[in-house]
Structures are given as structure tokens and as C-alpha cells.
Chains A and B, each alone.
Chain A
Amino acid sequence: MILINLISLSLLYYLKKSSGAREFPEHLHRYFKYGMIAAGVLIALGIVHAPPEILFELLSFVLVGAVVYLMLNTPELSYLKTLAITPLPIIGVRLLEYVIKTLSPAIFDIVENYLDAAGVFAFIWAVTMWLNHRKQMKEIEIERIITKEQERQLRTTEEQKNQLETLVAERTKEILSQKEELQYALDHLRSTQEQLIQQEKLASLGQLTAGIAHEIKNPLNFVNNFSELSVDFLQEISEEMPKIPDSPEKENILDLLENVKSNLGKIRHHGSRADSIVRSMLMHSRGGSGTMDPTDLNALIREYSNLAFHGMRANPNPINVDIQLSLDETLPKVKLNAEDFSRVILNLLKNAFDAMRDKLATAGSDYKARVEVRTQDLGDKVLVEVEDNGPGVPDHIKDKLLMPFFTTKKGTEGTGLGLSITHDIVNSHEGTLEISTEEGKFTRFTILLPKR
């Protein structure tokens, strides 16, 4: 009877041990534990032959039956089928022995030898099955290791793949940002190239202009000089004329001489007009000889607005102008070509004076000519404004103001280059020149210079 319980115990022990490798549900563990306790108790009872022996024997069979049943009918333990059926013949023989012994000891004596023989076969069967089971277990174990290894490799591959993907993403991002940088550099290069071409064109145009201006200057000098001389000679002639006795012919000659004198005066006048255009053109095309130095813009404005005013007063048709300077005293020094920029101030003020002179001629006596020059520190830029309360600029010519040779000045007064030169100079300082105006009220030139 101890054998049956030992079978129960060893089966349960085996189950419990193999539960380390596989995860069994909690209730199975409980079964194993209680089963082992029960088997232990039954073994102890079997050793001491405690009565009623027959009941304990029966319980032993029930226990081993339950264990085998559990092993065959639990899905988690299905892989142990071979093991479960290993002890079955032994148990069967023992059960038969037990039943026969219990029911009729007489028959037992007769069949004892057969039963012993059956027991031997059952044992052989058990050994065979046990070996079978071992083999199966080994195969399962190898399979399990292989699967595990495969899983491990799969995981490693997955990890490597992920790493590679991250790497690729990083590189792609790098390349993209480099591409963007390159694109930016390329665009910048292109626009610089365009600017260079434009500047080159302008420079060659400037050289051409300078060459033409010089070539024109020489014949123009002759025109001016000879007309001046002729006027002088005519003066001498008219001084000599009274010495000739009067006659109708003399009358005619004097009349014609007067006309010639007036014509020569006109030639001289238009000649000097052409001369001032040529000189402006030469200034226009003069290469940037001046240097950009930090300059006190307020001082420059004070000096040149004063100069412009007195220059205007010294010339024909002076007017009374109230010049207001609203200068930002906190203005830092600005990098300027002082020589060029002084021309900007002179030109803008001259322009304002001329405009206001026109208005003074037409407007009533209430009108007081006034021009205001402002500076202001705008942080990264510097503002320079020249505002007059002259006649303003009609819309349809506003766009033309900065064009070379455009002038509104009547007849022969302007060269049409003043504002164009001003615009060029502001541009060469990388600044902007804007005009805002209201007809009959004001004209305001706004210059914004970068501080750098």
C-alpha cells in the first residue's frame, strides 16, 4: 500500500518541481500541496498499520486516482500524459489485488501468482513509459530552448532595427537641415550675384556717364566762353557806336545788335545750365571715394541746414524760412559718408526752399514758410525727416520725383538730379527714402538709416 502512496507522492513532487519552469494556476499548487500532505499521512499510517487499514488503502487508491485524473484532465498538464499513464498498470494490478483480497482471500491465494506476474509486467511497462516520458521531456525542453533562442534573436533583431531606424531618422533630419542651410546659402548667393551684376551695370553706366560728361564739358566750355566773350565785345561795340553819326542803317544795326546780345545771353544761360547738369552727372557717377565713418548726424544737420539757408539767401530770389531743428540728442554716432550725406541735407532743404518759394508767390500773406528737420533714434535704425509746409506733391508725379532728370521747376531752374542723387546716396548707405505728402499742405522726406 505504501507503494501506491509513494507513486502519488512522487507524481505530486514531480508536478510541484516542474511548476518552477512552467506557470501553473494557483489552485493547482494548492492541490499539489494538499495531495502531498495526504500522501505523507497515508504513508505514515501504512507504516504503523493503523486501523482501519482497509479504509486507508481505499483512500490511497482514491488519492492516486485523483492525481492521475488531475493530470489527464487539466489542460496545463496535458504534456504529462505519458507520465500520467506510467503507473496505471501498477495501480490497476494493486487495485485488483486489493479488491480480490478484500472480497475473497481464497480466490486471492489462487490468483496471487498471476497477479505477481502482472505486477512484473506492469513494472516493465512503467519503466518503459518512464523512459518514454523522459525522452519526451527532453525534446520539449530542447524545443523550448530553441523557441526561446529564436525569440531572443527576434528581439535583438527588432532592437537593432529600431536603433537603425532612429539613426536613419536622425541622419535624414541632419541632411534635411543641411539641405535647407545650403538652399538658404544658395539663395543668398544668387541674390548677391544679382546685386553684383546690377552694381556692375550701374558702375559701368556711371563710368560711361562720367566719360560722356567729360567729353561734353570741353565743347560746353567753348560755348560758354565764346558767348561770354561775344557779350563783352558787343558791350565794347555799343560803347563805340555813339561815335558813328546817326542814320537809319545805324538804327537797324543797333536793333540787331541788341537781339544778338540777348541771344548770346540765352546761349550763356543755357550753357551754364548744361554745365550744372554735367557737373551733377559727374558727382553722380563719382565712385565711392569717401569712407563711412561714425558721424555726429545732429552736428552735420545743424551745419548743413545753416549752410543751405545762407546759400539760399545769397542766391537770387531769397525767401524767409523758419527752420526748425528737432534733433534727438541721445542719437549715437552713425556710420556715414559725411561728404555724401551732407549733400542729402543740402538737396532736401534746397528742394523745400524751392517748393515753398512757389507757394509764397501764390498763397496769401498769411502763409509762413517753415521747414522742420527731425532726427530720432529708433533702436536699430535712425530716422531723419525733412518736412516743409510747401505746396505738396500731386499724386501723379510723386513716383517720378526720384527719377534722374525729372523736375517740376519751371523752365531752366532745375537739373532734375538733386533728388535722384539724394536717393542714390541714401541707397548707398543701405537706407530708405520715402516721400509722404498732401497737396497744399506738406511734403515730408523720411530717411531710415541702419545703425550697424
Chain B
Amino acid sequence: MKILVVDDERDVEDLFRQKFRKEIRNEGLELLFAFSGKEALEILEKNRPPQVATVFSDINMPGMSGLEMLGIIKDRFPKLQVSMISAYGDADNYQKAMNSGAKGFFAKPVDFDSLKKEIRDISKS
């Protein structure tokens, strides 16, 4: 199962790879990383339908924001599930994300246990 993580912070890649080390080694989880909304859309465009099961994206990014990207993804790949991650865990961002069709909303610092649970649920379905 492939998961795309979008965040402008490069260290997010290391963090996720290490946090999901066991899942990657033992359960066949594959993580893809994009460091901007544009890059994420390029990855998704490579295969139609995209070979990605779900997308986790930061909201605050330079250039295209996570919410903009969410709109575009929902427009082009309506079936693809996208969850948002934001340091600004306020009601405003939450509402915007949910109204734009986000599947879930995670506040930073990310609770990896709930993230793992979410991924497990997706891989089962």
C-alpha cells in the first residue's frame, strides 16, 4: 500500500520512515514524499488512477497551500482520500479542510499512534 506524505519540511521524510519502520519492513507499507503541493500533484498524475491509497498533507506550505492542493486533488481524483495535518489546530482550518472533502484532520505534534490506526483502517478496506 502506497501513502503519499506532503510537507515542506524535509525531515518529515526521516521522521515518517523511522516511525513506520516496522510497518515498512514487515507490512509492505510504502511511503512516498512530496515537499510541495505541486510536487505531490505531479506524483499523483504519473499513474491514472494514482497508485496511492491515501495522502497526508500539511496545510501551511509555501506556494500552493495544503487546502488548495486538497481542492485540486478532490477535483481530479474524487475517490482519493486526503487527510490534513496542521500546526494550527483551530476550528477555522478544521472546518475548511472538512468542507473541502478531507477525510481526517491531525493537529501537530502528530500523534503517530492515531496515524498508524488510520493507516491500518485504510489498508483493511
Contact = CB atoms under 8 A, between A and B. Distances in A.
B75 interface: no
A226 B15 contact: yes
A218 B87 contact: yes
Nearest to B108: A221
B76 interface: no
A221 B88 contact: no
A229 B108 contact: no
B109 A229 contact: no
Interface in B14-53: 14-15, 18-19
Interface string A205-240: 000000000100110011011100100010000000
B15 A222 contact: yes
Contacts of A226: 11, 14-15, 18
Contact of A214 (B9, B19, B88): B88
Given A217-B108, A229-B18, A229-B19, A222 B87 contact: no
Interface in B53-70: none
Given A224-B109, A225-B109, A218 B9 contact: yes
The secondary structure that dominates the A interface is helix
A221 B19 CA distance: 14
B109 A221 contact: yes
Nearest to B15: A225
Interface in A261-299: 275
Interface string A360-378: 0000000000000000000
A225 B87 CA distance: 15
Contacts of B11: 222, 226
Max chain B Cβ within 10 angstroms of own Cβ: one of A225, A226, A229, A233 = A225
Given A217-B108, A221-B109, A224-B109, A229 B15 contact: yes
A155 to B, nearest CB: 84
B18 A218 contact: no
Contacts of A222: 9, 11, 15
Given A224-B109, A225-B109, A217 B87 contact: yes
A218 B15 contact: no
Interface in B76-115: 87-88, 108-110
A218 B8 CA distance: 11
Nearest to B7: A218
A229 B87 CA distance: 20
A29 B117 CA distance: 135
A229 B12 CA distance: 13
Contacts of A221: 87, 108-110
Nearest to A225: B15
A430 to B, nearest CB: 27
Contacts of A224: 109
Contacts of A229: 15, 18-19
Nearest to A214: B87
A46 B11 CA distance: 157
Nearest to A233: B18
7 contacts: A214-B87, A217-B109, A221-B87, A225-B15, A226-B18, A229-B18, A233-B18
Given A226-B15, A229-B19, 9 more contacts: A217-B109, A221-B110, A222-B9, A222-B11, A224-B109, A225-B109, A226-B14, A226-B18, A275-B109
Interface of B: 9, 11, 14-15, 18-19, 87-88, 108-110
**Which 8 pairs across A and B sit closest by C-beta, in order of nearness?**
A221-B109, A229-B18, A222-B11, A225-B15, A217-B87, A221-B108, A214-B87, A218-B87
